[in-house]
């Protein structure tokens, strides 16, 4: 199963945080799952860190990519198809990062691993 992790899920998984649901952790750790992290997630984490809304114990960029790849995650580059799909999504939610994640999940036929219920309005499969 393809899984696309949102930014909260990535951070909580890397930190072993109790906010991460047991269901999400089990799926991410499953050998039957392909866990994807969008390149958009790195951008979102950088923005939140720069605004002082998030503190991370690692540097974003190469260190972040190396860390997640060493754990078996795959970095998903933003595709042209996902960008085009983002423009066609209904306006349920205005957060550009979330809209791009929805489009990427749909393009990758991936379940979105997120606590954010707004994703449900887009018809993407969300697991938490």
- pLDDT mean over 98-123: 97
% of the chain exceeding 90 in pLDDT: 86
Give the pLDDT band of residue 57 (cuts 50, 70, 90).
Answer: confident
Supply the pLDDT for residue 19. Answer: 97
Q: What is the mean pLDDT of the chain?
A: 94
pLDDT greater than 80 at residue 58 = no
DSSP class of residue 18 equals T
Burial class (CB in 10 A: 0-12, 13-18, 19+), 39: middle
Q: How many CB atoms lie within 10 A of CB 124?
A: 18
User: Angle CA(110)–CA(6)–CA(33) in degrees, nearest 5?
Assistant: 40
pLDDT greater than 90 at residue 55 = no
Give the pLDDT band of residue 56 (cuts 50, 70, 90).
Answer: confident
Phi, psi of 111 (to 5 degrees): -80, 135
Supply the pLDDT for residue 80. Answer: 97
Domains of the chain in sequence order: 2-127 (3.40.50.1010)
Q: Where are the beta strands (DSSP E) in 7-107?
A: 34-38, 74-76
pLDDT digits (tens, 9 = 90+) for 71-93: 999 999 999 999 999 999 999 99
Supply the pLDDT for residue 77. Answer: 94
Question: Token digits for 94?
Answer: 């205005």
Q: How far is CA 31 from CA 27, 67, 105, 121, in A?
A: 8, 18, 20, 29
């Amino acid at each position: 199963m393809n899984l696309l992790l949102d930014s909260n899920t990535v951070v909580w998984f890397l930190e072993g945080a109790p906010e991460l649901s047991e269901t999400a952790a089990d799926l991410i750790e499953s050998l039957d799952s392909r866990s994807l992290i969008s390149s958009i997630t790195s951008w979102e984490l950088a923005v939140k860190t720069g605004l002082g809304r998030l503190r991370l114990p690692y540097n974003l960029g190469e260190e972040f990519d190396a860390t997640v790849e060493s754990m078996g995650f795959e970095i998903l580059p933003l595709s042209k198809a996902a960008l085009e799909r983002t423009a066609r999504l209904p306006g349920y939610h205005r957060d550009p990062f979330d809209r791009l994640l929805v489009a990427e999940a749909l393009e990758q036929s991936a379940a979105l691993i997120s606590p954010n219920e707004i994703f449900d309005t887009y018809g993407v499969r969300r697991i938490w």
